[in-house]
Structure 1
């Protein structure tokens, strides 16, 4: 069921040819995913709510350096049946390369490739919460403290944690998010 949803979302936003490439790709080893995750995590300082930019950067690196057709997925994240992040709409992008958008968006982003989910922000977000929360409690009890990136086969994600796909980002969205992250890194924001 999940595979067909991801396939449909990918075809809708990236085209049928990209959807087929994604569908037929077989990941021989997760090592490129691990290496690129480490690179990004060592470059970008922890912050709350950076899931879209981190996921875009990760997918971009995988596509550019390894020809791995990772996709950025936007959707809901449920923990113990509660929606921690609810994605009501897709991520907006500017039609101009000179214009930055600063809009509120409440969804969650991650990457997917060959049955794996990758999430560079979930631990950073959970650990940054100072007040008690279902997310922080779940992360600490299921993963512990001091974790970096999550990379897991979909079937091995802990019970009670649901990544619910609603959109797959297209190249314009991914490139815009990467540019935004680059700007933040240049400005040391």
Structure 2
């Protein structure tokens, strides 16, 4: 599979997930887990399901708060977590939930304006080359790598919470 075919297939997956996922802010762990699992099932290249921080124009949008310690507890659903998750494939960032959260009522007008200056407000998800995003002042800093088993936990939780529309 060529890189272009790989990216096209990943975009198809991203579109499918965003169309079939209940529109709620703060769904990055669940949407990213689903995309990472789909990509890992279909592609022979390494995808990375990560958590970390996101800043725009030097302003921290999401700070990093480790999720791994919460996964070791025996709770069914992780309800409170302050952080951000996305999927990386080579030099590409796939962030399926950022616009849902940024343009929700949970976000400040300052954060919304930072994104409006760089992206179309009607975008369903963000996919971009890491270096191009950095040039735009959008910096994703991966700090925690999550496993396939971790992704499974989040997918099962999303299903339990009724976030995935079949």
Of 148, 155, 169 in structure 1, the residue corresponding to residue 124 of structure 2 is: 148
Match for 2:71 among 89, 93, 108? 93
The structure carrying a bigger helix percent of its residues is 1
Deviation at 1:130, TM superposition (A): 6.0
Question: What are the ranges of 5 or more consecutive residues in structure 2 without an aligned counterpart?
Answer: none
* Structure 2 residue aligned with 1:138: 114
Question: For the structure 1 residues 48 and 186, does the alpha-carbon distance in structure 2 shift closer, same or farther, using more than 3 Å as the test?
Answer: closer
TM-score (norm 2): 0.86
SS of the equivalent of 1:111 reads strand
Match in the other structure for 1:181: 158
Question: Counterpart in 2 of 1:70?
Answer: 47
Moved over 6 A (4+): none
Q: State the shift of 1:126 in Å.
A: 1.2
Aligned alpha-carbon RMSD (Å): 2.4
Larger Rg: 1
Point out the more displaced range, 61-70 or 110-119.
61-70
TM-score w.r.t. structure 1 length?
A: 0.76
Contact kept? 2:101, 2:107, Cα under 8 Å: no
CA shift at 1:164, angstroms?
1.0
For structure 1, the residue ranges without an aligned partner over 5 or more in a row are: 1-25
